[in-house]
Structure formats: C-alpha cells, structure tokens
Chain A
Amino acid sequence: MKSVALASTALAALAAMVGAAQAEISDNVVKIGVLNDRSGLYADLSGEGSVVAARMAVEDFGGKVGDANIEVVSADHQNKPDVGSSIAREWIDQDGVDVIVDVPTSSVALAVQQVTSEKDTAFLDSGAGSTALTNDQCAPTFVHWTYDTYAMSVGTGKAVVEQGGKSWFFLTADYAFGHQLEKDTSAVVKENGGEVLGSVNHPLSTSDFSSFLLQAQASGADVIGLANAGGDTTNAIKQANSFGIVQSGQKLAALLGFITDVDALGLDVAQGLTLTTGFYWDRTDETRKFADRFAEKMNGQKPTMVQAGVYSAVTHYLKAVDEIDDDGGEAVVTQMKTMPVNDFFAENGKIREDGRMVHDMYLVEVKSPDQSEGKWDYYNIVKTIPGDEAFQPLDKGSCKLVSN
C-alpha cells in the first residue's frame, strides 16, 4: 500500500513537472512585436506612437514577468498584406516573438490573423477596423481591442439621425473597409428611420474630392457620410468647407476620424464635426496623466485611441502571462478573456468569446476655435455609449468560437 502511495506521489510530481515544462514562458523572454504603418497614410495615428505606448506599458509593468525579461520590437508593414504576413512569420519563426500588437489596415490585419492563429501566437489588434476579424475570420488567439466599423457606424450614424439628419449620401473609399463602413452605417440609418439617397465610390488616396462633393451636394441629402479614413477624410472635409457645403446646410459625418486628423484640419475647418472614439485624452485624471507622459516622448502629440489601446492591450496581456506563467497564444488569450479590463482606457471592459474587447465608446463633437484652450484641446464629449450598445451583439455575429 505504501509503495502504491509512493508511486502515485512520484507520478503526480512527475506530471506536475511535465505540466510546468509545458506551461512556461518560451526562451524566458516575452517578446512583443508592434507591427504597423511607420511611413504611410496611418503613421501618425499608430506608427511610432504605438511603439512608444507599448514600451510605456512594459516599463510600467516593471520590465519583467516573473523572471522573464520583456522586449519590444517593431516593424513597418507598409499597409501591404504580403509584407505584414511575412514579417509576422519571420518574427514568430526566427525571432521568438510571442505577441503581435496594433496592425492597422484591415487587409493587413486579416493576413496577420492567418499567420498568428496557425502558429499559436497572440494577436492584439488596436489599429484595424474591420468587423470580419471577430466574425468569419475570428480566432482563439485574437483580441480586437479599440474599435471596429460597427461601433463607428452605431455611434456616429445613430447620433446624427437622432439630431435630425434623416437623408444620407455616402462618399465611400473604394475598398473592403469603406464598403463595410457604408453598409453598416446604412443599416443603422435605416433602422433609425432615415433613408440613404445614394453613394459614390472614390479611389483610395484621392487628393481632389470636389467632383464627388458636387454630386453629394446635388443629391440634396441632409448628411454626407464619409466612409473613408486618414488623408481621404481630411481632404474631403477641407474641400467641403471651401465649396460652402456645410455653410449651405448640409452636415458632414466623419464615420472614422482620429484626433490627429482633427489636428491636421485645424479647428476652423473641423469645428462641429461629430465623431465616435474609443479614447479621449482629456476625459479623466488617469487619461490626462497617461497622455502627458506620452506627449513628453512624442514631441507634444497626445495619444490617439489606437495608441492608447496598444498600451491597454499590452498591459492586460502581461497581466495574463504573469497569472498563468505561459506565453502560448491560445492559453494567454483564454486567460485574458477571464479577466476584466480595468485601466485608464477601459473601465469594466471585457473580452468576449469572439475576441471582441467590449468597452464604452464616446460620441464627441469637435470644439470651435473659441472653445478650445490650446493645441489638442479638441473634443467635447457629447455622450458615452455603453459597450454593449456600441459593439455588435454576440448573437448577431458569425464567429465559430461562440457556442450557441
């Protein structure tokens, strides 16, 4: 009897050792790869700022998880899916990267998603918008952190219809993201009693919007919905202003706008614009504290929602790794889903089965130059949109991980 007990104890100890050998941090280093656009259209809203945010998160965590060091590496995916996925592959196979973060541009994010799910590596996306990432393309190693096209359309679309903007005309960037944003927003507009009079698809990176704006003006719609991003949005707004579109009573709705876009436009042009955002630096004491530290390292630039989201995602990831002492993709993401997200970015945020991090979004209006007290003082928060309203309901999605 005694020998049996001894044997079973030995076996249990052995099993525990094997278990420990499996569940540990690979190479005794947690390597974070920030993959984004460093030189193109989206370099200001993510780019170097996201790398700085990730480094700040690591610093605040103490630079170590248990005994393991934390390292941050970064690269430019140039907004090209093939470049993005090959960097991800090389990082994971050769450099021992354990988690990839940020990755703006939906087409690149979808390509990286393929690689990370195949190689059991965590992927925390802050920069891309497509809801496909948590629907048909969802994966157990993936978390969508900051925003998506659904949240944007629900936030801005609904608010504008409620303010009396019943008829809409869309200027849509002619690629997957633009079409998705137009589709989502059209649905919201119609649900709330509005109508869509038409739309025009413009090529990506158009510098002159006057022809399209003239068509939008001729449609007589109350609202011109801009289903585009970055430089396309700022150019369209700027030119709408010079063509007297806003002055003559039509309203512009930027369906995806970042604080860096408002900065590029200047308040003279951007004032009165309604936007939906996942983060505004001047909201609470904590957000201000983070933004001030961030600005010190970024020549005075305040963080965009994408950059703040990177900080929040990396912090939550490190907590989960610390909790289970393991950096395998699925294992960490599963652990992340069990823990509530509570920091300056999200209060009582939660990660759903489909990988969507659900948190409050904010409907904001751009201040007029008189209201603003200086650079980066740009938004009035009009409304807080509770997370459950802002994001697509779980049962409306098509993620295969969701049990019915």
Chain B
Amino acid sequence: MQEILGVPAPLLFGQLLIGLINGSFYALLSLGLAVIFGVLNVINFAHGALYMMGAFVAWLLLHHLGIGYWPSLLVAPLIVGVFGIVIERTMLSRLYDLDHLYGLLLTFGLALIIEGTFINFYGVSGQPYAPPEILTGGHNLGFMFLPTYRAWVIVASLLVCVGTWLLVERTRLGAYLRAAVENRELVRAFGINVPLMMTLTYGFAVALAAFAGVLAAPVYTVSPIMGQHLIIVVFAIVVIGGLGSILGSILTGLGIGIVEGLTKTFYPEASSTVVFVIMAIVLILRPNGLFGRPRE
C-alpha cells in the first residue's frame, strides 16, 4: 500500500474528505457569525446555543408533531430565526452604541440561559435523531466508506454558503448591507430602514446557525451542550478569516476542517488546539485576518 509521510494513502484521502465535511459545518456557522459581526458589530456568543436550538427544534417537531427531517430543514431555522429577531429587537438593538464588550456579554449570558433551560428539561445525554430513509447507507469509494448523509451535508452547506455569499456580494440588498457596514448614517439618509435591515440580518444569521443544527442532528446526538465547544472553534475561524469577511469565513471554515482532519491523523492529541495555534500565527502575521480589511 502506498504511503504518504508514513500514513497509508487511502487513509489520508479519507481524512481529507472528512475534514471537508467538518469544514462545511464550520463554514456554515462561521458565515453567520461573520455576517452578524459585519453588519451589527456584535460578537454573537449565543451562536453555538442557537445552533443547538436548531437541532432541538427539529427533534421536538419530530417527537411531538411528527414533522420529519425535510420540512424541519426549513421550519426549524424559521422558528429559531424568529426567536433571534425577538432577541435583537428586545435586547441587542439597545447595545449598538456601546462598546463591543456589552454585546459579547449579553450573548454569552443568553447562551448560558438557553443551554441551562434545555438541560433542565432534557438532561445532557441527548436525544437520538435518525437521518431520513433516503440518506441512510453509504458508498464505498475504495479508500473509505462515505455515508450518504455526510455527502449530503457537504452539498447542502456549500449551496447555502454560496447562496449567502451571492446575496451579500451580488444583489442590491447586499449592496445596502455592505454600505450600512461602512456608514450607517449615510445609508439611513437615503431613506433605507437600517434598523429593520439589522433585525432581519440577525434573524437570517441565526437561521443559518439553526440550519447547521438541523444538518448536525442526525450526525451527532441532539444534546443541549452540543454547541458549547463548537462556538470557540468557530469564533477562532472567524478571527482567522478576518472578522466580518464572508468569503474569509467560508474558505477558512473549510480549510480548518481539513487541517483538523490531518492533525487527527498525524498527531491526534493536538487536534483540538491546532486551530488556536493557527489563529495565533495569523494574528501575528496579519492582525486583520487572512481576508479581513482594517476597520476604522
């Protein structure tokens, strides 16, 4: 069997593919985080909890109302997105003129409350959620066995990522958004309802997190603590990509997934820290991140 750096080639290809699958989760989550930071100037620490909520709402829909995976993919993000809008209107919108730190503290507190509430009702062990019948099973690629569901995860998240990128970069609405990032007052002077735009942006980004949660439900156990560890990694990805850079967060998300996969092959113990090592190096060499621009 051919070996690359002491690792059998098939195993290495397998790890690369798995890295890409995990990376697509990261991309989806960091995309939402980057959009929120870009437009609202808020570091949304509740993102992990909202991702968890997406998975839980899908489970609740199935468990109590018999609503399956496919409708949940749309309904759960909508429900959580509306929840996000309520948060933005009642709490976050009051903090925009204050220091970053207030937004961070508020969303961190919210994350604790949301997670605590779910733990109280459902415990920490988690609930099972089966993938839809059509996505069960898998394909033998020769170098690894690829579960159909994981292949679907790559396709679905890449579609959503590209769609969001096009929305922000190629449409009139996106142009308004980008303009609002540069100069909120000027955009408002043109008669555009900036507060509404910010509310909808937060709702949309929260829905993205929830969408990732529904995608994750059949892969992991649906548990109130499933977002806890993820949020730190995703936050690091956003920093590496450049705070607020949408393309940066998507590409870095995918890249970090692959780097993690390779670390798990060559030195597994470091797989949970490698992302922070990269973050430190990037911050030293390019303080605004790989794709970021200096903020004024």
Which A residues lie at the B interface, using CB under 8 A?
Answer: 39-45, 47, 174, 200-203, 205-208, 210-212, 214-215, 217-218, 230-231, 234-235, 238-239, 242-244, 248, 260-261, 263-266, 268-269, 301
Contact = CB atoms under 8 A, between A and B. Distances in A.
Could you say which interface size class chain B belongs to? 35 or more
B131 to A, nearest CB: 8
Nearest to A238: B221
30 contacts: A41-B124, A43-B124, A44-B124, A44-B125, A174-B269, A201-B268, A202-B264, A203-B271, A205-B229, A208-B18, A208-B219, A208-B220, A210-B150, A211-B18, A211-B264, A212-B268, A214-B11, A217-B145, A231-B126, A231-B223, A235-B220, A239-B219, A242-B149, A242-B219, A243-B138, A243-B147, A244-B138, A248-B145, A263-B125, A266-B128
A48 to B, nearest CB: 9
A76 B18 CA distance: 37
Contacts of B144: 214
A230 B123 CA distance: 12
Contacts of B125: 44-45, 230-231, 234, 260-261, 263-264
B93 interface: no
Interface string B146-177: 01011000000000000000000000000000
Contact of A39 (B119, B138, B226, B268): B119
Which 6 pairs show the lowest CB-CB distances between chains A and B?
A266-B128, A211-B264, A264-B125, A203-B272, A44-B123, A44-B125
A352 B223 CA distance: 39
A209 to B, nearest CB: 9
B220 A238 contact: yes
Contacts of A265: 128, 221
B127 interface: yes
B126 to A, nearest CB: 4
Contact of A210 (B10, B18, B130, B226): B18
Contact of B18 (A207, A214, A268): A214
A212 B264 contact: yes
A158 to B, nearest CB: 27
A202 B126 contact: no
A234 B138 CA distance: 21
Given A201-B269, A268-B130, 19 more contacts: A39-B116, A43-B124, A44-B123, A44-B125, A203-B269, A203-B271, A203-B272, A206-B271, A211-B261, A211-B265, A214-B11, A214-B144, A231-B124, A231-B125, A243-B145, A243-B147, A244-B147, A265-B221, A266-B128
B132 interface: no
Contacts of A261: 125
B145 A244 contact: yes
Contact of A214 (B15, B130, B221, B226): B15
Nearest to A49: B123
B60 interface: no
Interface in B221-249: 221, 223, 225-226, 229-230
A114 to B, nearest CB: 28
Contacts of B269: 174, 201, 203
Contacts of A239: 219
Interface of B: 8, 10-11, 14-15, 18-19, 21-22, 116, 119, 123-128, 130-131, 138, 144-145, 147, 149-150, 219-221, 223, 225-226, 229-230, 260-261, 264-265, 268-269, 271-272
Contacts of A206: 271-272
Most A-side CB within 10 Å, residue of B15, B124, B261, B272: B124
A338 B72 CA distance: 60
B229 to A, nearest CB: 6
Contacts of A39: 116, 119, 124
A39 B128 CA distance: 20
Contacts of B226: 207
Contacts of A210: 18, 21-22, 150
A95 to B, nearest CB: 25
B265 A215 contact: yes
B132 to A, nearest CB: 13
B223 A264 contact: yes
Contacts of B138: 242-244
Contacts of A174: 269
A298 B17 CA distance: 43
A234 B219 CA distance: 11
A172 to B, nearest CB: 10
Contacts of B11: 214-215, 218
Contacts of B119: 39, 43
Contacts of B261: 211
Nearest to A199: B268
Contacts of A218: 8, 10-11
Contacts of B18: 208, 210-211, 214
Q: Point out which of B10, B22, B225 has the most chain A C-beta atoms below 10 A from its C-beta.
A: B225
Contacts of A203: 268-269, 271-272
Nearest to A171: B268
Contacts of A268: 128, 130
Nearest to A258: B125
Most buried by B among A43, A242, A269: A242
Contacts of A202: 264, 268, 271
Contacts of A248: 145
Nearest to B226: A207
A63 B188 CA distance: 69
A42 B119 CA distance: 12
A335 to B, nearest CB: 36
Nearest to A239: B219
B257 to A, nearest CB: 9
A26 to B, nearest CB: 35
A234 B268 contact: no
Given A214-B11, A234-B221, A264 B128 contact: yes
A210 B16 CA distance: 11
A45 B125 CA distance: 8
A315 to B, nearest CB: 26
